[in-house]
Amino acid sequence: MTESTMKAPKKALRPVKWMRENLFSGWFNTALTLAVAYLLVTSVGPLLNWFFLDANFVGSDASDCTGAGACWLFISQRLNFFIYGFYPDELQWRVDTMFLLLAVAFVPQFVERFPGRKWLGLFGIFGLPVVGYFLIPGGTFGLEEVQSSKWGGLMLTLILAYIGIIASLPIGILLALGRRSDMPIIRGICVVFIEVWRAVPLITVLFMASVMLPLFLPEGVNFEKLARALIGITLWQSAYMAEVIRGGLQAIPRGQYEAADALGLGYWRKMGLVILPQALKMVIPGIVNTFISLFKDTTLVLIIGLFDILGTVQSTVTDPAWQNVAIEGYVFVAFCFWVFCFGISRYSQNLERKLDTGHKT
Amino acid sequence: MKKQTIDTRPAGPKPWNDPRVRSLFFQAIAIAFVFWGGWVLVDNTLSNMESRGISTGFGFLNETAGFGIIMNLVPYDATMSYGRTFWVGLTNTLLVSAMGVVAATILGFIIGVARLSSNWLVAKMALVYIEVIRNIPLLLQIFFWYFAVLSNLPSPRQSVDVGGALFLNNRGLYLPEPLTQEGFGIVWGGILLAIAAVVGIRIWAKKRQLATGQIFPTFKVGVAILVVVPLVSYLVAGSPIEWDIPALKGFNFGGGITIIPELAALWIALSLYTASFIAEIVRSGILSVSKGQTEASKALGLPNGLTLRLVVIPQAMRVIIPPLTSQYLNLVKNSSLATAIGYPDLVAVFMGTTLNQTGQAVEVVAITMAVYLTISLLISLFMNIYNRAVAIKER
């Protein structure tokens, strides 16, 4: 070895170098790092204790929650209520079947090259609502009927979000096309519809659906509370959906419209075969984002007296049989929502990367 | 004999193939459909209301309301009219929205910048905050703060006491209230004078900088003037403020300003939730400014602070403003979740209690929706004006 050749830098020094660059560059960063680290260290310990070490997992009622930590017993004891609401125990296999079908249809979407992935997805969008329509309320095919007032918990949350999104997509497409139409009157109607729904909070829409809808309908015609909430959610959501899709329509270059015209395609074939397939693909992330926000907003139905997952938890934490379990309940609901929303948003980011065909600049 | 003219133009399309005729036809159908639908709705509603004995019209606004409201910014008691409940609800909505917008903006900008920090720990903490908070429903967060945190505070007798003037318990936060005494006009005069002086100095400094290139420390001098002049006038007028300090009377506190827990829970939840969205907007705005801009400004010899203030932020704002506007709109709309915890906002008071008592659903819902529509349009109008001011000026 000659004097002029330098030794490779020692590997062991890398973490030190990394820390010096990323944590302790300058007095300000050092102070910041120390402050944040102090906060982390002092808060992680008690949190871990509360969540796991001092928490109670086994037992049968509130008196078994003796430790200083969380009372997870409360969740495990009431889990059935949080998932199915008042759905009769012996009929819950119907809901379980729907959960299973939902998983079968959508879990493979995360796995690339899963055989028949596309068909499962299409079944999830078109077939699942039909199966659910017969299975969950029952009343046909010899299935015992279950009133919608007995539905609740996670199941109701999923039903609201699922129907909301499936129904608002076609309405949103029509509204977006209407807003981009050449006919001034059609355009005006769509603009007013979209802007009015978008400007008002969902609560007022739900109130309107539950208070005013019965007034609007002819005498004798009446919907259940759930159906009224669904109508409100769908109309409100379709306005948001329309704006997302309009973004996609506007991003399609003029040449595509003109080329479709030049081929002699009529309006619907031009839109259906040329424009919409490109536009919808472009706005999939936006659609997923509206879906996530709709999913979170379904919690609002508890204000008009439906028992979604937050509603069931809220009604249980005020139950005198369980004392001071509010935090446990909220943490449980937060965790459920967080897993769904975070998972979906990660999936949409993947999709965005995969569908990126380089049309954007 | 007349010469016969022969029309050599090709025959136009058949009327049912003519795009103009078709368009007119479809629009006529659309109009007819809308009018028919509207007429059916109105007809159904009127006959339904008649059969249920609900009166129509806005006369109910002058009737006595007869219910109490736990918080009012405009004077109110149970003997006042339903019209007054509308104003109480509206001012409460506007109050929590304004508080939320300010807090969410400050917090959102701090977290957005922290997300881009060169400090690994700080950047990761900001990321965790954003990903946790924005994936949890707002209503759940409001419940958490109200039912799990604020209602577990000590009772009034065991309140947290800060310096004998500020008290915190499960009934709310009690602050001393400044009561202006005689002679406070002098202080107002001082404040106005200071503002006028700062504006004047700013104009003069800008003119001088354009003419000579010399920079005047407007900011430091301005702050000094804004602090010193009102303070001097306050002392000259003989300290014309008395503090109404809250004190324990019986089971609860009296005097001072009370921030009720409903307002606090709503405010905290709205601010934290919206801040997580604003942080992402701020981050993408700052990232959208190309590195060349920063490098060019460094090459011109501008220090870091000036680079940020004169080069990066003005360009980032162009990207930030439009989505920020829609976040503000969302915040105002989300403030209606107040009704879930009983904060007396517009929806809870007017669309809740007033509607239940009068039964006049159509009028009440229409007024409430009109209010939100107006607020939305006003916010977008102001933000559009601001956006135009900061938008890129192209040739």
Q: For residue B105, what are the CA distances in angstroms to A199, B140, B270, B317, B357?
A: 21, 22, 11, 13, 38
Structure confidence by residue, pLDDT tens digits, B6-63 = 666 666 677 777 778 888 888 888 889 989 988 888 888 888 777 777 777 777 777 7
Residue type, A215: L
Six-digit token pair at A181? Answer: 């139409």
Q: Chain B, 46-85: which have a CB under 8 Å from a chain A CB? A: 47-49, 51
Q: Provide the 10 A C-beta neighbour count for residue B386.
A: 14
The minimal CB distance from B121 to the residues A36, A186, A330 is found for A36
Per DSSP, what are the bridge partners of residue A56? A71
Per DSSP, what are the bridge partners of residue A151? A85
Averaged pLDDT of chain A: 82
pLDDT at position B136: 92
pLDDT at position B6: 67
Pairing of strands B160-162, B247-249: unpaired
Average pLDDT for residues B208-221, to the nearest whole number? 84
Closest CA to B267 of B68, B107, B382, B86: B107
Average pLDDT for residues A233-260, to the nearest whole number? 89
Cα–Cα distance, B383 to A154 (Å, whole number): 39
Six-digit token pair at A124? Answer: 């999830």
Cα–Cα distance, B130 to A307 (Å, whole number): 28
Q: Chain B, 293-332: which have a CB under 8 Å from a chain A CB? A: 329
The minimal CB distance from A32 to the residues B122, B336, B365 is found for B122
Closest CA to A344 of A295, A300, A298, A310: A295
pLDDT at position B153: 80
pLDDT of A147 above 80 = no
pLDDT of B1 above 60 = no
Residue type, B209: Q
Structure confidence by residue, pLDDT tens digits, A215-239 = 787 777 777 888 888 989 999 999 9
Cα–Cα distance, B53 to B47 (Å, whole number): 10
Chain A residues with beta carbon closer than 8 angstroms to that of B140:
299, 310, 330, 333-334, 337
* Torsion angle defined by CA atoms of residues A17, A18, A22 and A23, in that order, rounded to the nearest 10 degrees: -70
Q: Is the CB of B148 less than 8 angstroms away from the CB of A310? A: no
Residue bearing tokens 């007033």: B354
Cα–Cα distance, A244 to A288 (Å, whole number): 10
- CATH code of the domain occupying A151-361: 1.10.3720.10
pLDDT at position B394: 61
pLDDT at position B196: 92
Instruction: Provide CATH 1.10.3720.10 ranges for chain A.
Output: 151-361
User: How close B239 comes to chain A (CA, Å)?
Assistant: 40
pLDDT at position A360: 47
Q: For residue B266, what are the CA distances in angstroms to A314, B130, B141, B312, B353?
A: 17, 19, 9, 34, 19
- Indicate the angle between helix axes A153-179 and A92-106, nearest 10 degrees: 50
The minimal CB distance from A204 to the residues B41, B137, B372 is found for B372
B335 and B317 Cβ atoms separated by less than 8 Å: no
Q: Is the CB of A310 less than 8 angstroms away from the CB of B147? A: no
Cα–Cα distance, A291 to A248 (Å, whole number): 16
Percent of chain A with pLDDT over 70: 93
Chain A residues with beta carbon closer than 8 angstroms to that of B336:
201, 203-204
Structure confidence by residue, pLDDT tens digits, A105-122 = 777 777 777 777 778 878
Using a cut of 0.80, tell me whether the model's pTM lies above it: yes
pLDDT of B3 above 80 = no
Q: Is the CB of A215 less than 8 angstroms away from the CB of B340? A: no
Q: For residue A45, what are the CA distances in angstroms to A57, A294, A328, B206?
A: 19, 35, 18, 55
Six-digit token pair at B40? Answer: 């059916």
Which one of A347-351, B129-133, B244-248 scores highest in mean pLDDT?
B129-133
Per DSSP, what are the bridge partners of residue A344? none
Six-digit token pair at A126? Answer: 């078109």
Query: What band does B133 get if pLDDT is binned at 50, 70 and 90?
Result: very high
Cα–Cα distance, B348 to A133 (Å, whole number): 35
List the single range of A15-19, A236-240, A243-247, B345-349 with lowest mean pLDDT.
A15-19
Average pLDDT for residues A22-26, to the nearest whole number? 76
- Under 8 Å CB-to-CB from B107, ≥6 apart: which residues? B271, B272, B275, B278, B279
pLDDT of B274 above 80 = yes
Average pLDDT for residues A60-82, to the nearest whole number? 75
pLDDT of B2 above 60 = no
For every residue of B231-297, DSSP letters joined together read HHHHHHTT--EEEE--EEETTEEESSEEE-HHHHHHHHHHHHHHHHHHHHHHHHHHHHS-HHHHHHH
- Write phi, then psi, for B161 (nearest 5 degrees): -115, 120
Residue bearing tokens 């109607």: A189
DSSP state of B118: S
pLDDT of A12 above 60 = no
Six-digit token pair at A152? Answer: 């609740």
The H or E element containing residue A165 is: helix A153-179
Cα–Cα distance, B221 to B201 (Å, whole number): 9
The H or E element containing residue A193 is: helix A184-199
- Write phi, then psi, for B335 (nearest 5 degrees): -65, -15
Chain A residues with beta carbon closer than 8 angstroms to that of B34:
189
Q: What are the start-end ranges of the H helices in chain B?
A: 19-52, 82-115, 120-133, 138-143, 184-212, 218-236, 261-288, 291-299, 304-306, 313-334, 346, 355-358, 361-390
User: How close A58 comes to chain B (CA, Å)?
Assistant: 23
Query: What band does A181 get if pLDDT is binned at 50, 70 and 90?
Result: confident
Six-digit token pair at B91? Answer: 């001012």
Between residues B249 and B39, which one has the greater pLDDT? B39
Q: Provide the 10 A C-beta neighbour count for residue A251.
A: 13
Averaged pLDDT of chain B: 84
- What would you report as the CA-atom Rg of chain A, rounded to the nearest whole angstrom? 27
Query: What band does A361 get if pLDDT is binned at 50, 70 and 90?
Result: very low
pLDDT at position B104: 95
Which residue in chain A has the smallest CA separation from B142?
A330
Burial class (CB in 10 A: 0-12, 13-18, 19+), A339: exposed
